[in-house]
Structure 1
Amino acid sequence: MAQAEHPYRGEAFRLLGDVALEDRGDITTAKSCYTQAITVLAQANVHARVMDRFQVPDVSRERTKPPQAMREHDGWGNLVWFQPEPGQVINADTCDWYADYQTLLAQTKRSMCFFLAGKTEAAIKDLDAMLRLDPDDKELTDRNMPSNYLRLRDDYRSGRLYATANELAHFTSRALVKVVEAEVFFETEQWDLAVAAYNRIAADERLSLSVGARAYLDYARGCALDFAGKTTEAMPFTAGFSGAKSEFSGTSTYWRALFLIGNLDKKQEVDLLTHGACNCPDPSLRLDFLLRLGQLAFCHDQDAEATRYFTALRSAAKLDEYRGIAAGKYLDLIRSRSSRTMPSSPR
């Protein structure tokens, strides 16, 4: 009689896939390993009480006690992925979500392999695991709110990730595989893993990286740290974009970085956004600068300024596109706010 499969074996195949990706940039071997992991995890007998075959001290039982879920809300209400502490072992036999978690990781990475191979529909199909195995992500997706599934689905369809297609073009061969892996961490809001992955690329591929590639890696690390609430750690990654003769001023990432710098240093924000709105060579990105300027003015009750920005934005953007829609909604809010604050006519 064949021995029943166990989730630990599935995890082992998944980790072999990670090694193939991170060490060699080998998407063919990685995809094969992820497929084996998914197959084993589907067949695993989750009721096999492996740990119960041995007498385990109470301290060990406590050490292997799993969290309630693979993603939990932090003190700010944000969803945070489970990350094992160094040396922490999770008992798969007492963890209801262990096999699902491993399947989700393996299938997401396999979707990345399909994306790199140009198989967009297969890549998107693999993302279904997020809806099937992650209740929080399914709820966000069903409400049409930003979710891991929607971000990656839309990215794959657009041929990009958080990096634009032009930014991805700065990476080739193994570096491209590595940066796409880092981007998947980024788009699924695993900030620490994303930063670590970007750091590995910057270190391991440093001799072959172009100026554009280095610019994007600094920008991406700064953004990931900013999103993680680590603004002090993010600031050094903006150095190459600052100053009149900044190292990265000639790159396409330079203009995106202005948003990051402004977010980190509010004193500069309006000036940086104005510079972008007036001088950015990308017409689409210029509209994003206008939108942000209008939002800032609106939040500071500067209705005349906000109206000017949103009117210009509505004239330039497509009315059924998010910036045109946003401009119209903000203008309605400004009119509504203005009507409430107008003094009543004397009797």
Structure 2
Amino acid sequence: MRTIDFHCDALSKMWEEPKASFVNDPHMDVTMQHLEEGDIALQIFAIFLSEEYGKASFERVLAQIDAYRSRIVTPGYLKPLLWREQVQEVREGQQGRYSALSLEGVDGLEGSLHYVKLCYDLGVRFMGITWNYANWAADGVLEQRNGGFTKRGRRLVEECNSTGIILDVSHLSQAGFWELTELTKRPVIASHSNAYSICKHPRNLSDEQIRALIAIDGMIGITFVPWFIRSGTERVKPEDLLPHIEKICELGGEKHIMFGSDFDGIDQWVSGLEHPGRYPQFQELLLKHYPESMVQGWMSKYALQFLERNLPSLTSQE
């Protein structure tokens, strides 16, 4: 069963380690070998600028885009997904495996809306407004004041809506989330967040937020970050993800579920879900509890339908 994964941090690891191999590096969760083992049809790669390396800059954004192009796309490992017209190719699986770029936090755009358009031209199709803290556009989910958008941040939303970049609310403050639902003219995603009522971590979504995302035809990427799945010191198992799926379904979101693992962005893993090659075993677990049509929907069908509706059209560029 082919799978789509909406969030990994392999690019920042590859940027940090220029000699890391995308083919089969043992220090990477997301490698070509693991994508093939897991039959991943589409992997979204986040551009994440860690605070460890100083102030975020557009130069570092470009460096990760260059790593993506030179070490993943140009060698022919994965094809870039840019247009809704390509979605059928992903669905059929006859043209190889696909990838796309997401910016995780707009800090590196340095407040420039011109850089938004440049990112789009360079292949970025998804954009998370913040990481955990405040930046020039909005407050992150761990910013204590819980502010919303700045004036320039509201212009960022308009720019993304007009260019066709899909906005991502994972990491956004509560106030920012609700403001965005009013500001945006297009559906948004939570690429890697779980249900707060199941695990009370601030990065998870409340029932009200889940309902709001469903109402605007958005998508929710169930994530494999152990401390977003359950609290406590016991080892987290794949079965612990089921209550999160159940909760979203209870709230009317059966057709709004996808997956956003956060592989390569974590240093602890769900036991049995350590890399993309483990997806088939996870599917077997889901099939014990849900009909095959439902599991296929979560693995790829619903995400592909979303992309077909919301990616920019190549014909509109001509």
Instruction: Return the structure number with greater helix share.
Output: 1
TM-score (norm 2): 0.30
Instruction: Return the structure number with greater strand share.
Output: 2
TM-score (norm 1): 0.28
Larger Rg: 1 or 2? 1
Higher relative contact order (CA 8 A, sep 6+): 2
